[in-house]
């Protein structure tokens, strides 16, 4: 209950939280309840939610002083206008060069056990440190970042208040950023209202698309749960030289070219798609899965060709579009000087 109360406070403060209380669907043979939104954000015991902590983290998320040249922010690659991604195949980093992979969304990361496309980080705190210090991304150095933030009276005051006796350190910066990132939750979508029992919330086409998604099209084999991801790694048969998860599971033949299943919330803002941004739009995504992908030893056994007609393809598209939140408002914070 405290988490829910805190979530509602955060909405008023402009922190991106939107968790309605869902009503279960009791109709027999109805799979909608398996995709029901949670009512609380899970925060780790060692980093519990507080409005002030999340607000501090939000300021840091938008602050260019975390980058080496003070010209990039976390939001440079995770832009809320584009579903917390970027509208290009691969984001451009500090060296004004494209980085190796498409910027993954940070939506709904509070429910994610592994981070980055290859899952190399096991916590949001660990994930946050990566882009800040990577030379090809933000190219920041924590001693310099700490000095900059400590010299700003408002930051120094709030860090000391929230982290008594610690102040501005690498760990406190990452804790604040990660706390904010856990509040970045996709808002209520037409699909959610349908799950709650509003039969008029989505079109008949989208309803047929849902039946295809969980049935003949076999999409829910990987895209499961309210965020539509199993949080596992699969080779889906894309043309790529990137070995993906295999860098960390060298003894697993199915880890080659395998990448984390992305959630499907707010998809209409997030093109292009896939780990390398190689698929331009949602219709092309559907075509890829119809093909079954490139046949190779590492291809996920869940990847099998499917046959659907134009009408069914449009139904799937209508369903995927119903997963985009109806109202998304993310005010940019005023930064201290």
Rounded to whole angstroms, the Cα distance separating 25 from 47 reads 34
Closest to 297 measured CA to CA, from 216, 209, 237: 237
**Tens-place pLDDT, residues 79-95:** 999 999 999 999 999 88
pLDDT at 29 over 70: no
Tens digits of per-residue pLDDT, 44-67?
999 999 999 999 999 999 999 999
Q: What's the pLDDT at 15?
A: 52
Burial state string for 204-239 with b = 16 or more CB within 10 A and e = fewer than 16: ebbbbbbebbbeebbbbbbbbebbbbbbbbbbbbbe
Q: For 272-298, what is each residue's pLDDT tens digit?
A: 999 999 999 999 999 999 999 999 999
* Residue 167 CA, distance from chain mean position: 29
pLDDT at 168: 98
Helix (H) or strand (E) holding 234: strand 233-234
In whole angstroms, give the CA distance from residue 200 to residue 207. Answer: 10
The encoded tokens of residue 21 equal 């209380």
Q: Is the pLDDT of residue 102 over 70?
A: yes
Average pLDDT over residues 305-309: 96
* Better-predicted residue by pLDDT, 15 or 71: 71
CA distance 190 to 207: 11
Alpha-carbon distance of 148 to 120, in angstroms, equals 29
Q: How confident is the model at residue 30 (pLDDT cuts 50, 70, 90)?
A: confident
The mean pLDDT of 207-217, rounded to a whole number, is 96
In this prediction, residue 331 has a pLDDT band, given cuts at 50, 70 and 90, of: confident
Rounded to 5 degrees, φ, ψ at 244 are 60, -130
- Residue 62 near residue 73 (C-beta atoms within 8 A): yes
Task: Determine the pLDDT at residue 101.
Answer: 96
Taking 50 as the threshold, does the pLDDT of residue 18 lie above it? no
CA distances from 151 to 16, 154, 156, 289 (A): 28, 9, 7, 52
Percent above pLDDT 90 for the chain: 86
Burial class (CB in 10 A: 0-12, 13-18, 19+), 113: exposed
Q: What is the mean pLDDT of the chain?
A: 91
pLDDT on residue 23: 34
pLDDT digits (tens, 9 = 90+) for 229-248: 999 999 999 999 999 999 99
Domains of the chain: 42-182 (1.10.760.10), 190-321 (1.10.760.10)
- Whether residue 130 has pLDDT greater than 90: yes
């Amino acid at each position: 209950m405290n988490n829910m109360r805190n979530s509602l406070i955060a909405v008023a403060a402009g922190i991106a939280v939107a968790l309605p209380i869902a009503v279960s669907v009791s109709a027999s043979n109805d799979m909608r309840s398996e995709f029901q939104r949670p009512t609380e954000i899970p925060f780790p015991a060692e980093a519990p939610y507080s409005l002030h902590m999340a607000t501090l983290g939000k300021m840091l998320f938008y602050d260019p002083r975390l980058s080496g040249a003070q010209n990039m922010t976390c939001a440079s690659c995770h832009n809320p206008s584009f579903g917390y991604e970027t509208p290009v195949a691969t984001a451009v980093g500090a060296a004004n060069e494209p980085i190796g992979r498409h910027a993954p969304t940070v939506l709904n990361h509070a429910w994610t056990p592994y981070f980055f496309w290859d899952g190399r980080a096991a916590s949001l705190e660990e994930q946050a440190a990566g882009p800040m210090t990577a030379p090809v991304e933000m190219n920041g150095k924590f001693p310099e970042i700490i000095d900059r933030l400590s010299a700003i009276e408002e930051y120094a005051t709030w860090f000391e208040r929230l982290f008594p006796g610690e102040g501005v350190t690498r760990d406190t910066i990452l804790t604040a950023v990660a706390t904010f990132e856990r509040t970045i939750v996709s808002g209520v979508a037409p699909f959610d209202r349908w799950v709650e029992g509003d039969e008029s919330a989505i079109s008949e086409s989208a309803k047929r698309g849902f039946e295809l998604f969980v049935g003949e099209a076999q999409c829910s084999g990987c895209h499961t749960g309210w965020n539509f991801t199993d949080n596992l790694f699969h080779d889906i048969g894309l043309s790529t030289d990137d070995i993906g998860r295999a860098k960390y599971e060298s003894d697993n033949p199915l880890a080659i070219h395998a990448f984390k299943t992305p959630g499907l919330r707010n998809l209409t803002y997030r093109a292009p798609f896939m780990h390398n941004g190689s698929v331009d739009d949602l219709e092309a995504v559907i075509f890829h899965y119809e093909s079954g992908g490139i046949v190779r030893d590492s291809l996920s056994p869940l990847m099998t060709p499917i046959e659907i007609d134009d009408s069914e393809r449009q139904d799937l598209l209508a369903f995927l579009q119903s997963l985009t939140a109806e109202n998304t408002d993310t005010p940019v914070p005023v930064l201290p000087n």
